[in-house]
């Protein structure tokens, strides 16, 4: 990656995944049992036990929100790790034919093969508001989530709060991020039109840690070409998403990072005033 390359141009990113020889992931666990379906959710994930002993909410590639939603889930999780954001751990899991044909999943069109799993949080309650800020370190966790939300043009706010861990907050279900759920089967050309579509956090930042906003502002600004290519390379080849679309998403995030960094600095100031 040369310093004299103009990475502000989306076409500059084309071919970088292949040139970087990124190792694309394969599922490391297999679904061995399905328990229930979240029928009130648009993409209807199901709760399943994997061969690694963990339980996941599983989205298959034929879900009603499209395979692009799985791409966003994977990339948001990868960038979230870079920002130390409080996202539920994720895993690629393999759905065998026997599970895809389970009567519990009848009529859902579950596709065998590689799927996205979001680790279930035990004894959690779901809320549509970012609250419990003073509980279990959430005042440090929530600013990092907000940075990720703004970077990915967050949509469909929802959080889990672990009752057994003093209401520690976790973010999940990010499939509508980037597109707002409006673009259907979208690709790089659509991202060109939405790169300056902002989703500013309008919620209360009172009691959140101002210093954490500054720390995550620096982390967002420091996201490199290599970082973002590594993030999109976490999307498995078997989902059939073209490299140009993955590279376009990396470009989209790279183009937004400075603005979001400035936003986090501004929110640090708001948090400081609200904390008085």
Q: pLDDT for 177-186, tens place per residue? A: 997 766 567 8
Nearest Cα to 236, choosing from 118, 76, 89, 71?
A: 71
Instruction: Please give the mean pLDDT across all residues of the chain.
Output: 91
Nearest alpha carbon to residue 158 among 267, 42, 271 = 42
| Residue 23 burial (C-beta neighbours within 10 Å; 0-12, 13-18, 19+) | exposed
Q: What are the structural domain ranges in the chain? A: 10-274
**pLDDT of res. 182:** 60
Angstrom distances, CA of residue 33 to CA of 21, 22, 47, 56, 228:
35, 32, 9, 11, 34
CB 30 within 8 A of CB 43: no
Convert the pLDDT of each residue in 64-105 to its tens digit. 888 999 999 999 999 999 999 999 999 999 999 999 999 999
Q: Helix, strand or coil for residue 9?
A: coil
Running DSSP on this structure, what letter comes out for residue 111? P
Only one residue has tokens 């692009």, namely 68
Q: Which residues contact 208 (CB under 8 A, 6 or more apart)?
A: 133, 139, 142, 143, 271, 275
pTM: 0.94
Taking only the tens place, the pLDDT of each residue in 104-131 is 998 888 989 999 999 999 888 888 888 8
């Amino acid at each position: 990656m040369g310093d004299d390359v103009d990475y502000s141009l989306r076409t500059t990113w084309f071919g970088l995944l292949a040139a970087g020889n990124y190792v694309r992931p394969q599922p490391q666990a297999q679904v061995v049992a399905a328990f229930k379906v979240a029928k009130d959710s648009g993409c209807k994930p199901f709760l399943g036990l994997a061969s690694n002993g963990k339980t996941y909410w599983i989205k298959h590639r034929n879900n009603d929100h499209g395979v692009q939603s799985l791409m966003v889930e994977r990339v948001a999780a990868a960038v979230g790790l870079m920002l130390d954001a409080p996202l539920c751990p994720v895993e690629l899991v393999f759905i065998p034919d026997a599970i895809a044909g389970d009567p519990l999943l009848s009529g859902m069109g579950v596709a065998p093969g590689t799927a996205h799993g979001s680790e279930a949080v035990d004894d959690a309650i779901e809320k549509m508001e970012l609250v419990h800020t003073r509980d279990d370190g959430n005042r440090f966790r929530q600013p990092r989530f907000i940075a990720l939300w703004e970077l990915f043009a967050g949509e469909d706010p929802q959080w889990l709060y672990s009752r057994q861990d003093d209401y520690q907050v976790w973010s999940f279900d990010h499939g509508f991020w980037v597109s707002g759920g409006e673009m259907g089967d979208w690709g790089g050309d659509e991202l060109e039109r939405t790169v300056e579509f902002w989703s500013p956090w309008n919620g209360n930042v009172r009691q959140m840690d101002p210093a954490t906003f500054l720390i995550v502002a620096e982390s967002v600004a420091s996201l490199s070409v290599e970082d973002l290519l590594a993030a999109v390379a976490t999307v498995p080849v078997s989902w059939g998403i073209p490299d140009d679309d993955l590279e376009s998403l990396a470009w989209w995030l790279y183009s937004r990072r400075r603005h979001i960094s400035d936003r986090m600095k501004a929110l640090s100031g708001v948090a400081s005033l609200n904390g008085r």
